[in-house]
């Protein structure tokens, strides 16, 4: 069995995957959707620990059942940085890393290090307008490519402020993650250079027509692509073995 650990991006929550997970379940896969804490002055490394906890629980369950699932770690947007560090810390557990419009880089990468100056300045200005200055208010749904009125009305009340430190903290990678197969799914039309981020770290890249929050607008297409990407990687590994 394949287990997909689906990690949501900034301002979102596990609910971001609610429309997608039924399609993975129909295909016989399991899903885990850990929540990243968005309260207070928390950083990327705290989010890494939260995903590690979820990952270790999956490993304990499969060991108890005397099973060894294929484990696919999926990170959307900001969580691309999170899942790469998680995989680096648990290379023996993770079989495949998939980024969905994911920010990613080598050791020392961060959102602010990868993003254009205009993005950085906008985030800093938004945080400065809040009380403590350490939270970034959620953008409007349109910033995630959600323009359908019904989808926007569903998304807007669910978005939450994001801790500023998640954008400034840098990843700590030993290089173990680079030995794990990786795929970068990037959405078109593009918002940022997600295809280039993935290609620069050696990931196979696949395009999917849809907005940044494609799991909300095209959940079946994204689920199919996640399954196909992992099947491709699984078959490729068998050929190499």
pLDDT, one tens digit per residue, over 89-138 is 999 999 999 999 999 999 999 999 999 999 999 999 999 998 789 999 99
The average confidence (pLDDT) of the chain is 94
Cis peptide before 21 (omega within 30 of 0): no
Q: Nearest CA to 213 among 134, 139, 109, 120?
A: 139
Total number of residues shown for the chain: 241
Strand ranges for the chain from DSSP E: 2-7, 30-32, 70-76, 96-100, 135-136, 162-163, 182-188, 204-209
* Spatial separation of the C-alpha atoms in residues 42 and 189, rounded to whole Å: 32
Contacts of 48 (CB under 8 A, 6+ apart): 82, 85, 86, 89
pLDDT at position 62 over 70: no
Helices 44-64 and 79-89, interaxial angle, to 10°? 50
DSSP reduced 3-state for 169: coil
**Could you identify the residue written with the tokens 């205009």?**
118
pLDDT tens per residue across span 136-152: 999 999 999 999 999 99
End-to-end CA distance of the chain: 20
Closest CA to 112 of 102, 101, 123: 123
**To the nearest whole percent, how much of the chain has pLDDT over 90?**
87
Q: What is the pLDDT of residue 237?
A: 65
CB atoms within 10 A of CB 208: 16
Q: Which two tokens stand for residue 95?
A: 């079989």
Global pTM? Answer: 0.95
The domains of the chain, with CATH numbers, are: 2-240 (3.40.50.1820)
């Amino acid at each position: 069995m394949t287990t997909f650990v689906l990690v949501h991006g900034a301002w979102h929550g596990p609910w971001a995957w609610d429309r997608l997970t039924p399609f993975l379940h129909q295909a016989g896969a399991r899903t885990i959707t850990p929540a990243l804490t968005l309260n207070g002055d928390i950083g990327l490394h705290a989010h890494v620990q939260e995903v590690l906890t979820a990952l270790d629980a999956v490993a304990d369950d499969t060991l108890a059942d005397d099973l060894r699932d294929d484990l696919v770690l999926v990170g959307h947007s900001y969580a691309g940085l999170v899942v790469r560090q998680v995989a680096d810390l648990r290379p023996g557990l993770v079989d495949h890393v998939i980024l969905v419009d994911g920010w990613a880089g080598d050791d020392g990468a961060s959102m602010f290090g990868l993003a254009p100056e205009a993005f950085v300045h906008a985030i800093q200005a938004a945080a400065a307008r809040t009380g403590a200055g350490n939270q970034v208010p959620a953008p409007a749904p349109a910033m995630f490519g959600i323009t359908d009125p019904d989808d926007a009305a569903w998304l807007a009340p669910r978005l939450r402020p994001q801790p500023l430190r998640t954008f400034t903290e840098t990843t700590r990678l030993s290089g173990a993650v680079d030995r794990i197969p990786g795929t970068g799914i990037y959405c078109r039309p593009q918002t940022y250079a997600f295809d280039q981020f993935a290609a620069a770290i050696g990931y196979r890249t696949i395009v999917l027509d849809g907005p940044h929050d494609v799991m909300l607008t095209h959940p079946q297409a994204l689920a199919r692509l996640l399954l196909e990407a992992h099947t491709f990687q699984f078959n490729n590994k068998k050929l190499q073995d």
